[in-house]
Amino acid sequence: MSKDTSLAASSPDDGNGADTMTLSRVRVGASRASQPFAGAAQAASNTAAPTFFDGTYFSSASEGNASPDDNAAHVVTGYSVPAWRYLYNGTLIALDLLMTIIATCLVFLLRPSSYIYVQDIGPGQYGMISFLALACVSWVISLYAARSYERHTMGEGYALYAKLLNAAFIDFIMLCTLGYLFHLNVPRSLNVFIPLISLGLVIIERWLMRRALHRNRMKGEFNYPTVVVGSPEGIHKTLQQLDRSRNLGYAPIAVCPIESAENEEDPNQPQHLVAVPFTPLNDAEARLKVLSLNSHLPQTAKRMKARTVLVTDVLTRDSETMRTLSLAVESMGIELAMTTSVADLSGADLHFRNDPSMPIVTAQLSQYSTTTRILKRLCDIVLSSVAIILSSPIMLWVAYKVKHEDGGPVFYSQTRVSIYGKPFTMYKFRSMRTDADKIKSQLAKERGIEDRFIFKLKDDPRVTKIGHFIRKTSLDEFPQFFNVFKGDMSLVGPRPPLPEEVAKYNMLYSTRLLVKPGITGPWQISGRSDLSQEQSEYADVSYIQDWSITGDIAILFKTVGAVLKGTGSY
């Protein structure tokens, strides 16, 4: 790649299911700031080169295989599992239960005294049916705890059997523990022999199921639709390897060709990537869709029902694009897979698929799993409902005071940006004069803070008398509980940004749009408006990468202290 590099710009679909790629000669000038949390104004000034983030993370209906009825602002969210995985895992669970029932029967045949002892337990106590149910549930839980039902487990070879061995050990511990806690008077030998015999039977069962899976994959079934990202050479090589190693389970449906361009003014600048043309080598490659590397890629992949984004090369571990792409892809519930040359992502659980034909590392952020997302949403619904009911007398009092002061509207509604860049209407109690928005730009110009993300003044002349009080006590935020109940916001998350703020985001900071904004979050408990821009960005991006349910609970408790102290609230 020369210093005067070629930039391939992608246009929308041409109607044939492939992006049109055109070349233009551009000179790569100054790249974005070398600091990972550079200010938005500085990032926005780099107009010499295309950027990964253009304001949203959702794609239009013309991108991917969306239906004509989809509108341009439709956002595909949530984690979806292919139907064949439900069928396959359901079959595994049924067979696992059958194996432990057979194992229990074999133990009773070999040790009739154990059968007689369990069978003779009197009414109202643990009998044969209860014992079989206990053995079955304990075994399935142990297999789940050993991660034997996870994606790719059945294709891992020896790693699969190591997990089964761990499951047998967990099952032994569970049976002993339950017997002690609930005083189950059954022979101790059952706790030993049932897990051991179940292990032997399940190893045979999984071996047969694994062979069946491989046969299906050789026929083109039971695969994960995959988007391959990398240089054209790396993509060609990977496609050839995937064609030879179909047991891996990756079925390419699209490619995203890119190249790395150096900055001639500063070779130490972070990696800069440009799109390049992709020339198919055969009919199979010609059928693949060509996508652009930008913030729409995860949504486009989701619309195409892709389950994996496979990075082959080019992207480096210290690349902002890699970190941003990994967060965006994994937050969509799409697996991020990498060849070992690019596999080094902080914050994600890395798993090495040691297949001799093509070693691959997959990355997973556990907080974006289906279970965690559902739990977070349930917490939002329950807690926001409780908050609305308990705070209704306070909200009525605030509404009366706001209306009584100047006769203006009680509520202030404003367009904010939610998950993946989708706009929504946020509600607050009005704390400013009715002409506040009109004089905002004038005040920003007078105070010299036109480029700041967060427009906050300690002595803002627009704030009303009651407004000072409800801001200091955060009572103005209470109507946002309705936004949480509706699903536009979450109780905990980054501060909901304005559209003009999003337009100034640099690439890494744009990852804050991968989760719903919150009433409270890292910004609110860390100093609020007293934080510098860099500190605010760091707090938000760190939250995106590391958030958890327990962490959200901790933030909720810390919010109480932040509200009582009133730090940074003005």
Would residue 361 count as lying in a domain? Answer: no
CA distance 226 to 306: 5
Would residue 207 count as lying in a domain? Answer: yes
152 shares its domain with 265: no
412 shares its domain with 540: yes
184 shares its domain with 238: no
167 shares its domain with 239: no
Q: What is the pTM of this model?
A: 0.61
472 shares its domain with 420: yes
380 shares its domain with 308: no
Would residue 73 count as lying in a domain? Answer: no
Confidence (pLDDT) at 35: 38
Would residue 49 count as lying in a domain? Answer: no
The β-bridge relationship of strands 411-417 and 423-429 is antiparallel
Residue 431 sits in which domain range? 370-565
Would residue 39 count as lying in a domain? Answer: no
Distances (CA, A) of 440 to 169, 170, 464: 65, 62, 15
**Is 432 in contact with 467 (CB distance < 8 Å)?**
yes
Q: Whole-angstrom distance between the N-terminal and C-terminal Cα of the chain?
A: 52
Last residue of a domain, one of 160, 183, 217: 217
Would residue 521 count as lying in a domain? Answer: yes
Confidence (pLDDT) at 501: 86
Q: How many domains does the chain have?
A: 3
CATH assignment at residue 244? 3.40.50.20
546: its two tokens: 């590391």
230 shares its domain with 196: no
212 shares its domain with 228: no
211 shares its domain with 228: no
Q: Going residue by residue through the chain (570 aa), what tens digit of pLDDT does each one get?
A: 333 333 333 333 333 333 333 323 233 333 333 333 333 333 333 333 456 777 777 766 555 544 434 444 455 555 567 888 889 999 999 999 999 999 999 998 888 887 777 766 544 455 678 888 889 999 999 999 998 988 888 876 657 887 888 899 999 999 888 877 877 767 778 889 999 999 999 999 998 998 899 888 888 888 899 999 999 999 999 998 888 888 888 999 999 998 887 666 666 666 677 888 999 999 999 999 999 888 888 888 988 889 999 988 887 766 777 778 888 888 888 888 887 555 445 556 666 665 666 767 776 776 777 788 889 999 999 999 999 999 999 999 999 999 988 888 999 999 999 988 899 999 999 988 877 767 776 776 666 655 554 555 666 778 888 988 998 888 999 999 999 999 999 999 988 999 988 888 887 788 888 889 999 888 777 665 566 677 777 778 878 877 888 778 878 877 877 777 665 554
Would residue 77 count as lying in a domain? Answer: no
DSSP-H helix ranges across 304-420: 320-331, 370-406
- Closest C-alpha to 569, from 514, 523, 515: 523
Confidence (pLDDT) at 446: 66
CA distance 459 to 339: 54
Last residue of a domain, one of 157, 188, 217: 217
**Is 263 in contact with 48 (CB distance < 8 Å)?**
no
239 shares its domain with 194: no
237 shares its domain with 326: yes
Last residue of a domain, one of 178, 199, 217: 217
453 shares its domain with 401: yes
Confidence (pLDDT) at 567: 55
Would residue 306 count as lying in a domain? Answer: yes
